[in-house]
């Protein structure tokens, strides 16, 4: 028979010690885990959450403190009055509370609370009145007309406090610094289940903006004052003080910027403003890398000189390389004019090589731009001198057709809707954007054309955690001879921000070119001089269209942790005649959304449903076989 040989005494203790310690630790953990499980019945989720916030039992829920029978008894005695205190702010002054406490086999204390809220206290009379010079001010009248409590409604203490806070906050924000509540009464009759509310504010005189003192040695003081959203003598408005700080901060001239109201002058009823700022770092360098399905991998280098002189002039240059935008260099010299937060005069220049369908363009442009904001609209007036060369990506086609080089002077007007209170910050969402541009031989251009391009986007809430995104695009070109229209001014469809399920610029009219297929490599031969026996081939190149239509209908469902899921339907195409406007491509798909600070990262999988054919080689068929699933990674405005 096998025997277990134990080591001598001291060694045996060393062997048994780990097992003993594990047992003791397990017992301690089991005891610590003996917490509290609270179960509440008879009230909705809002009331239940408030009851839990009041209950002393909740602090023991996770077993963070040891519970003894004496402690449990003491906590149990508090349940009724804690529930009463939790329901009173919601108008329930006479609840019936039944509670039991039992201990399970695991040591967890089970607390069951049954609540009958009872009849609620209803508002029998409510009088909110504003007296004094601010009595007719729309700011206060809005509060009086839109009270969250009405006669006959259940009393809610928070709503009552909200009315008081709204009155006091409005007075402090808009310059009624002598305002005070001269009556502040909430009288409850629990027996009759009624409540009477009386609030009366005496506003006193409204203060006005006083002198603004500016302490900075960065740019001219006259330029700083043009950024201010208020003027001396106007009624005081703290929101305009904050907007002034935002505008000055966005100018990027300053560091440690402070725009603060001083002590009110009680006799003159004015408020001075003090502005203090240091110089920010003048030069800014940036480097970045990214990826999107439309552009492929990309890298960016940037340089900004934020203030060339005391007049606030600035200069910036950015270089980008990507798979689609093979290279791009953009530079701008900006002069603040008018309201410098939103108005500017700039000289812009760019050099770019870009792929469009089956064509590559090399474009250089330079010209002035005047930006101004009026009401809810931003207008940008531009005149660009453009030199562009387009070449077909197919060597055989290029040998036959050659490169197309154009020189144009192109006036342009861009119109974009901007949000109320816009201060010149980058717009990640433009509900409406319109481009109008054209050129004429009288300006020394190779092409006569006029073009209109309209894009719109709107996100609508349709239910809690559900959103509807609608996006549309329409472009039209009036041109004397389409072949003279440079590629950079033609329309293409398909891609992350167009019709998903198709590649970038995949949807386009095609141009047929007959080439000599049996020529020797590197020897350009016109079709009429093809080596004998001649072998001809017709190649169809996507060269862009005069007009375009695209659109999106997308439904997004919010998920926890800044995530969301989406399903969408896209449509669109580029074409040369509005008679072809009905020949649109369609696709559907699903996607994942990750909301970042100001943008939403979208990862979509799209499936083309229908693709019209643009090539006569299809022998009369109106549709081509759509491709398979396609992945799209893109950035869009935050929802």
pLDDT (tens digit, 9 = 90+) per residue, 385-398? 999 999 998 888 88
Q: Compute the residue count for the chain.
A: 639
Asked if the peptide bond before residue 533 counts as cis, ω within 30 degrees of 0, the response is yes
CA atoms within 13 A of residue 202's CA, in its CB half-sphere: 5
Q: Which two tokens stand for residue 586?
A: 């369609």
Beta-ladder partners of 292: 296
Residue 623 belongs to what H/E stretch? strand 623-624
Concatenate the DSSP letters of all residues of 229-264 into one string: S--TTSBP-HHHHHHHHHHHHHTT-EEEEEEEE---
User: What backbone torsions phi and psi does residue 418 show, to the nearest 5 degrees?
Assistant: -125, 155
CA atoms within 13 A of residue 31's CA, in its CB half-sphere: 9
DSSP state of 4: P
Beta-ladder partners of 189: 194
In a 3-state reduction of DSSP, which class is residue 47?
helix
CA nearest to 314, candidates 278, 352, 277, 348:
348
378 CB-near residues (< 8 Å, 6+ apart): 342, 371, 372, 414, 415, 416, 417, 418, 422
CB 95 within 8 A of CB 116: yes
pTM, full prediction: 0.81
| Structure confidence at residue 6 (pLDDT) | 37
User: What backbone torsions phi and psi does residue 351 show, to the nearest 5 degrees?
Assistant: -130, 125
Strand 208-215 versus strand 270-279 pairing type: parallel
Between CA 352 and CA 287 the distance in angstroms is 19
| Structure confidence at residue 104 (pLDDT) | 81
Concatenate the DSSP letters of all residues of 71-119 into one string: HHHHHHHHHHHHHHHHHGGGT--S-EEEEEEEE-TTSPEEEEEEEE--S
| Structure confidence at residue 17 (pLDDT) | 46
Q: Which residues of the chain have pLDDT under 70?
A: 1-34, 61-66, 428-429, 519-529, 598, 614-623, 636-639
CA atoms within 13 A of residue 84's CA, in its CB half-sphere: 12
Between CA 364 and CA 353 the distance in angstroms is 9
Q: Which two tokens stand for residue 601?
A: 């990262």
Between CA 146 and CA 152 the distance in angstroms is 16
- Dmax over CA atoms of the chain, in Å, equals 115
pLDDT (tens digit, 9 = 90+) per residue, 120-172? 999 999 999 999 999 999 999 999 999 999 999 999 999 999 999 999 999 99
| Structure confidence at residue 18 (pLDDT) | 47
Domains of the chain, CATH where assigned: 32-116 (3.10.20.310), 122-202 (3.10.20.310), 208-279 (3.10.20.310), 337-637 (2.40.160.50)
Between CA 220 and CA 214 the distance in angstroms is 11
| Structure confidence at residue 620 (pLDDT) | 44
């Amino acid at each position: 028979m096998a025997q277990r040989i134990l080591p001598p005494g001291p060694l045996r203790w060393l062997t048994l010690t780990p097992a003993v310690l594990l047992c003791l630790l397990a017992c301690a953990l089991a005891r610590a885990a003996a917490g509290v499980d609270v179960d509440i019945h008879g009230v909705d989720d809002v009331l239940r959450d408030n009851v839990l916030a009041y209950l002393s039992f909740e602090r023991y829920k996770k077993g963070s403190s040891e519970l003894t029978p004496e402690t449990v008894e003491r906590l149990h005695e508090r349940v009724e009055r804690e529930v009463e205190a939790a329901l009173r702010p919601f108008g329930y002054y006479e609840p019936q509370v039944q509670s039991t406490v039992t201990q399970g086999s695991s040591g967890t204390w089970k607390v069951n609370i049954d609540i009958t809220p009872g009849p609620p206290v209803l508002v029998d009379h409510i009088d909110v009145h504003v007296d004094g010079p601010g009595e007719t001010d729309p700011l206060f009248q809005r509060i009086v007309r839109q009270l969250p409590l009405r006669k006959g409604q259940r009393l809610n203490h928070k709503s009552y406090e909200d009315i008081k806070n709204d009155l006091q906050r409005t007075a402090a924000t808009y310059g009624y610094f002598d305002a005070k509540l001269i009556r502040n009464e909430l009288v409850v009759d629990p027996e009759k289940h009624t409540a009477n509310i009386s609030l009366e504010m005496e506003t006193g005189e409204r203060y006005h903006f006083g002198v603004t003192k500016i302490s900075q040695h960065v740019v001219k003081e006259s330029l700083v004052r043009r950024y201010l959203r208020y003027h001396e003598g106007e009624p005081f408005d703290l929101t305009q003080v904050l907007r002034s700080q935002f505008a000055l901060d966005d100018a990027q001239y300053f560091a440690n910027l402070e725009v603060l109201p001083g002590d009110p002058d009680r006799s003159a009823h004015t408020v001075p403003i003090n502005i203090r700022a240091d110089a920010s770092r003048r030069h800014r360098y940036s480097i970045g890398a990214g990826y999107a399905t439309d552009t492929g991998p990309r890298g960016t280098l940037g340089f900004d000189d934020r203030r060339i002189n005391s007049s606030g002039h600035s200069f910036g240059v950015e270089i980008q390389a990507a798979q689609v935008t093979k290279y791009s260099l953009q530079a701008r010299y900006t002069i603040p004019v008018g309201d410098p937060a939103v108005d500017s005069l700039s000289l812009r220049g760019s050099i770019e090589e870009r792929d469009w369908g089956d064509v590559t363009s090399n474009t250089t442009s330079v010209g002035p731009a005047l930006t101004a904001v009026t009401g809810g609209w931003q207008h940008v007036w531009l005149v660009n001198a453009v030199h562009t060369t387009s070449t077909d990506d197919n060597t055989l086609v290029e040998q036959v057709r050659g490169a197309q080089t154009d020189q144009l002077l192109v006036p342009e007007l861009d119109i974009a809707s901007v949000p109320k209170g816009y201060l010149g910050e980058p717009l990640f969402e433009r509900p409406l954007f319109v481009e109008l541009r054209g050129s004429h031989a009288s300006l020394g251009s190779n092409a006569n054309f006029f073009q209109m391009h309209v894009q719109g986007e709107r996100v609508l809430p349709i239910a809690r955690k559900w959103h509807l995104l609608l996006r549309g695009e329409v472009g039209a070109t009036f041109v004397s001879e389409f072949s003279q229209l440079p590629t950079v001014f033609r329309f293409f469809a398909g891609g992350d921000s167009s019709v998903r399920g198709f590649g970038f610029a995949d949807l386009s009219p095609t141009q047929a070119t007959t080439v000599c297929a049996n020529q020797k490599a590197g020897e350009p031969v016109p079709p009429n001089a093809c080596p004998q026996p001649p072998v001809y081939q017709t190649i169809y190149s996507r060269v862009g269209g005069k007009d375009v239509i695209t659109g999106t209908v997308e439904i997004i469902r919010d998920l926890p942790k800044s995530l969301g899921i989406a399903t969408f339907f896209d449509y669109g195409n580029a074409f040369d005649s509005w008679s072809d406007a009905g020949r649109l491509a369609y696709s559907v798909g699903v996607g994942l959304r990750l909301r970042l600070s100001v943008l939403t990262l979208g990862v979509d999988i799209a499936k083309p449903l229908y693709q019209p054919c643009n090539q006569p080689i299809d022998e009369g068929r109106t549709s081509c076989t759509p491709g398979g699933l396609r992945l799209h990674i893109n950035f869009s405005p935050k929802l």
